[in-house]
């Protein structure tokens, strides 16, 4: 039972974080797109899904850029360590 509750809490936190990161534009875009599509307004639903996709793309792009920055820092640290090791073993 505890595992189920932990799983539900984890899913709830993921959804809550996603909603907070997406902001009102992303959530409303998704909901409006679903409602419009359900009522047959496919073109307007496409615009709403476009807003939703744009917001999510910005989130994805931000995460990728953060990962790229972290990897560059790690690469720099490893190069410095390599230089120190080369100097140490040349002595």
Q: Which tens digits make up the pLDDT trace of 48-91?
A: 888 888 878 888 888 899 999 999 999 999 999 988 888 888 86
Per residue, the 3-state secondary structure of the chain, as one string, reads CHHHHHHHHHHHHHHHHHHHHHHHHHHHHHHHHHHHHHCCCHHHHHHHHHHHHHHHHHHHHHHHHHHHHHHHHHHHHHHHHHHHHHHHHHC
Query: What is the C-alpha to C-alpha distance for residues 44 and 56, in angstroms, rounded to an integer?
Result: 19
Check: CB of residue 34 under 8 Å from CB of residue 51: no
> What is the value of pTM for the model shown?
0.53
Greater confidence, 35 or 18? Answer: 35
Check: CB of residue 30 under 8 Å from CB of residue 52: yes
């Amino acid at each position: 039972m505890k595992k189920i509750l932990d799983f539900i809490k984890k899913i709830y936190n993921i959804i809550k974080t996603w909603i907070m990161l997406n902001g009102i534009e992303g959530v409303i875009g998704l909901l409006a797109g679903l409602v419009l599509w359900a009522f047959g307004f496919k073109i307007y639903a496409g615009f709403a899904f476009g807003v939703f996709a744009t917001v999510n793309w910005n989130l994805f792009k931000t995460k990728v850029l953060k990962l790229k920055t972290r990897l560059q820092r790690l690469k720099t640290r490893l190069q410095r360590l390599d230089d120190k090791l080369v100097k140490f073993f040349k002595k």
